[in-house]
Chains A and B, each alone.
Chain A
Amino acid sequence: MRPSRLPRHCRASGDPASPLARAGSPGRHGRPRGAIWLALALLVVAAPSLARTIVASAAPDRVAVTIYRDPNRPADRAPNLSFLSGYALVSETRRITLPAGESEIRFEGVAEGILPQSAIISGLGDGVIERNRDAYLLSPGTLIERSLGHRVHLRRTMAATGEVREEEAVIRSGADGALVLQTAAGIEALRCSGLNETIVYDEVPPGLSARPTLSVRARADAPLTATVTLSYLASGFDWRADYVAHVSEDGEAVDLFAWLTLANTDTTSFPDADTQAVAGRLNRADRRVPPAEARPINLDCWPADTTSDLPEEQRQDIVVTGSRIAAERAYAMAPPPPPPPAAPDAAMVATQEELGDVKLYRIPEPVTIAANSQKQVAFLARPRVAVRFVYRQTVAPVARGAPAPARRVMVARNRTADGLGVPLPAGSLVLFDGRGGRPILVGAGTIDDHAVGEDVEIGLGAATGVTSMLRVVGAGKRDRDFELVVTNDRPVPVHFEASLAGGEVRGASARLSRRDGMPLWTVTIPANGRATLTYSLPPLS
């Protein structure tokens, strides 16, 4: 927070970078310092926009960030870290000192993706006259645009002698296309001369900022110091849950651990922010923020192509190793496996609160939401959640020449009695099995939002050894007869469920139940065995 009567870059504060603060520093062109002061004094008088004080607030004192998910991202898709479509509510407090009279408060260090319409400013009482978001940025093009009719310096460097010449000029055209200047010699166009030439300005025209800036015009009767709260929505954030499950020794439960994974692709960092994440679907209207305007002039040279632009060579080594895997079935000779990792141990766990119809996850301590980063904090650790592993298939009456692998599904009831009973926000799940000595990833799936009491079913992948094959064994006027053979190459019995699509089933060779409107065949396939179901469907119309 720095009250000032000058645009930020030429503020005569204690800033060591400011040339004005350096006593005795010779002007580059050798002008006496007195002349500078005179010029600045004239500038203050001449520029009407400086009639009100500019109060710049560089950064918030405290900030809170609540991250919302992208409402249009399906649960089975991970946030795209190069383009996040969720959003965040940023609430920040700043101590601001206002002089008496009208002033412009510039909130610097807000998120670049700010939705200015959503900003709420409190703490200034009824002194707020208007709020502005200035997205006309300081750039080479806008410098020319705003300096139209102003007096600038034209600097030419002679390539042959290295001599630098400067002369005064007045800008007579905008930045689109060529730049026309009026000089002592007449009217000229910049860089149509073949010389090395550029324009040197005396000042930055008012109203141009380096980054999009939110500003407030406010009026105060007397000087006051206020704690101002600014809240706004900003794009470029997203989050989801990432679950890590470990199969227990008996295979009937999993130890469940979950991360809140928060991502920020904004260029602004939020240090030591009170951080929350919200699960649930919220309506959002499509409000677009007009993009910031920053014009380059046609010369777009820095950064230019550099050594880092060289393409990477796509080359491969091929190594043929003569050793055999498990030669002569000697897998017992495999090296001793490393100890299985237990589920991670969380030292900080986000807590869950109810918030209207959504769930709010609060990280108990302030954390830094850095620009272009992803952060994970634990929010759930449950030992022994009862689960069942089943093989499932939806069997459509289509003749196929090859056996189809079954889906492996993990089924749980989200209730306290089964070791769970907490809201489960959408995200990914990875399942590890360490019973063979080393932990092996045995499944990966995604889960949608699940409330307490719901059945949770997570597809883990295709089974290679449990397959089914459907044959048409007869077709008549009244029905089509099918035979479904399920095989199991595992040395243990497995639980298999087939949903039979294609209409009302008649004459099934086993008792069928029903799930989700479809006849369901539930069977235990013996170890290294097979099971067969014959059934009939009505003919195709």
Chain B
Amino acid sequence: MRLVFIASAAAIALAAPAAAQIETEIPPPSETAQGEVSVTIYNNDLALVQDTRRLDVSAGRSRQEFPDVSAQIRPETVTLTGDGIGIVEQNFDFDLLSPQALMQKAVGETVTLVRTNPATGAQTRERARVLAANGGVVLQIGERIEVLRDDGLPVRVIFDRVPAGLRARPTLSVTVESQRGGRRPLTLTYLTPGLGWSADYVALFDEANGRMDVQGWVTLTNNSGTPYNNAEVLLVAGSVGGDRGGARSYGARRAAPGVIREAGTESADRERLGDYYLYPLPERTTIANRQTKQVSFLSVAGAPARRAYEYRNAWLHSADDPESVDTVLRFSSSRDQGLGDALPAGTVRVYQRDARGNPQFVGESPIDHTPMGSDIGLTTGQAFDVKVQPTVERRERVSSGRWRTTMRYVLTNASGEPVTVDLVQGGLWGDTRIVEQSQPSERRSADEAVWHVAVPANGEASLTATFDTRF
């Protein structure tokens, strides 16, 4: 009987064309069906893709497929427009071709099994009907029922065709109705996550002259799974969406000063639409998948900048050891006295030249979208040489509802240059009064008082203040 099988297998092998050409409609990955692409990228992992393709549309109803769209496309945002066409329906099919799906869809169908004899290597072919594919594949072969590969022997399953509806990748198709036939441009617009950008600033600070040079770079990333070929790229500074109602819009964040000390009201000399500043790339470019691209967008030389030292003490806080003060780079984004541009959100990295003239990294800080004309304080780190030790010296009850608290702040400076520290005492809620102080203060708000304390080079300064409070 074995001989018969081998003979029949040989006959099948002979009958099949030796080098059968596999015919396929799937184009190689190097080709793209994209047309003229323009991509608008936002800061919050979102991009608007506009893709104009020249397609042959027949008169009446026809179904157009759109391969090579973003792999992460948000299909519900697709819009197709074109001359003389109306949309009947849009479909996004994600019934994908996989071994499981292939077998599931073959239930009730007939497939070919090729068994390989483990000892002789002889192959036998037979037709089998798939009865079920639940946790294992049950087959009917002739009048017998068996489970596929249950005995661990090699069996190839050959399907006659790919079942209708199973696709290589999620497919977007649009059924259109057209008055007339012919080739014409159709514009496909959709949103996709996976593309994003942020700004990166390189600030070279010249402390001696109180100046800094700033270069701004746009860093653009594509993790959408799809390349965009020869695309016109527009970057939009800002986020769209993400609004969840008013409840969160003014939440309590840290009370410490942020980067923007005073928001500006100047309009930068850039292209703008509504709230958004637009940064078009100067020429068409290809954004490959998993690519990071950087383009310069800002270059300012000699903008005024200064270093400031800031320290904020919480109410009734005593420190056992002196604490380093914050190093803050103060500058402005205004036209007259600053960078003269709006700053899209990103990271500012600050460099300073060492004794040999080589730039060294001295700290970085993220910034939000910053309008032009803003007053900016960028905390880049903590000072090594400048420290403050706050102490609650005395706290006594002066009446049933009043307390008197005396604070001493010892400021030290181990550097060879005199410095001025902006020392802030916070937590002055209620009708707090400063009864006595060793130098005048500025009440920045009801909550905070600030002293500008000069500390001599390699020296020390001391500040005392007495507060009259209800708590």
Contacts and interface: CB of A to CB of B under 8 A. Distances in A.
Contact of A461 (B191, B240, B251, B272): B240
A156 B270 CA distance: 80
Contacts of B103: 302-303
B148 interface: yes
A319 B220 CA distance: 10
B274 A153 contact: no
A285 interface: no
A529 B90 CA distance: 46
Contact of A317 (B79, B262, B292): B292
B76 A198 contact: no
A436 B278 CA distance: 10
Contact of B40 (A334, A440, A445, A487): A440
A442 B46 CA distance: 12
B252 to A, nearest CB: 4
A378 B273 CA distance: 29
B142 A19 contact: yes
Nearest to A74: B244
A515 to B, nearest CB: 11
B122 A139 contact: no
Contacts of A396: 250-252
A402 B260 contact: yes
B135 interface: yes
A17 interface: yes
A161 B446 CA distance: 95
Range class of the A interface residue count: 35 or more
B40 A338 contact: no
Contacts of A409: 243
Interface in A3-56: 9-10, 17-20, 25, 27-30, 36
B297 A326 contact: yes
A211 interface: yes
Given A197-B151, A319-B293, A471-B445, A394 B373 contact: no
A440 B278 contact: yes
B313 interface: no
Contacts of B148: 302
A39 B111 CA distance: 26
Contact of A402 (B99, B258, B275): B258
B132 interface: yes
Interface stretch (B16-24, B283-291, B392-400): B283-291
A370 B93 contact: yes
Contacts of B93: 370, 372-374
B129 A489 contact: no
B292 A318 contact: yes
B429 to A, nearest CB: 6
B27 interface: no
Interface string B48-67: 10101000000000000000
A344 B447 contact: no
B56 to A, nearest CB: 18
A338 B292 CA distance: 25
B293 A440 contact: no
Contact of B81 (A344, A375, A443, A470): A344
A124 B75 CA distance: 43
B280 A326 contact: yes
Contacts of B273: 433, 435-436, 440, 442
Given A141-B136, A162-B119, A267 B281 contact: no
Nearest to B171: A373
Interface stretch (A276-284, A353-361, A412-420, A476-484): A476-484
Contacts of A463: 275
A384 B447 CA distance: 50
A240 B77 CA distance: 12
Interface in A396-412: 396, 398-409
A473 B429 CA distance: 11
A534 B431 CA distance: 18
A323 B256 contact: no
B243 A323 contact: no
A335 interface: yes
B140 interface: yes
Nearest to A441: B48
Interface in A140-195: 140-141, 143, 153, 155-163
A295 B284 CA distance: 57
A459 B245 contact: yes
Contacts of B50: 338, 341, 438-439
Nearest to A292: B134
A499 B288 CA distance: 46
Contacts of B134: 137-139, 210, 292, 294, 296
Interface stretch (B229-237, B320-328, B351-359): B229-237
A294 B135 contact: yes
Given A269-B165, A306-B99, A441-B191, A157 B249 contact: no
A394 B119 contact: no
Nearest to B292: A318
Given A202-B143, A320-B294, A445-B241, A401 B136 contact: no
A373 B92 contact: yes
Interface in A295-339: 295-297, 299-303, 306, 308, 314-327, 329, 331, 333-335, 337-338
B426 to A, nearest CB: 9
A408 B275 contact: yes
Contacts of A30: 1
Contact of A407 (B191, B232, B249, B288): B249
Contact of B138 (A138, A344, A376, A467): A138
Closest 5 CB pairs of A and B: A402-B258, A347-B86, A459-B243, A294-B134, A296-B135
30 contacts: A27-B142, A78-B76, A140-B147, A141-B135, A143-B138, A143-B145, A204-B131, A204-B145, A240-B76, A242-B76, A296-B134, A319-B291, A331-B270, A370-B165, A371-B95, A372-B95, A394-B246, A395-B250, A398-B255, A402-B368, A406-B249, A439-B48, A439-B189, A441-B40, A460-B243, A465-B275, A466-B275, A481-B446, A487-B265, A490-B272
Given A204-B140, A316-B291, 17 more contacts: A10-B143, A138-B134, A162-B2, A162-B117, A200-B144, A210-B108, A299-B136, A319-B292, A325-B279, A325-B282, A331-B271, A347-B87, A374-B92, A401-B256, A436-B278, A440-B48, A440-B276
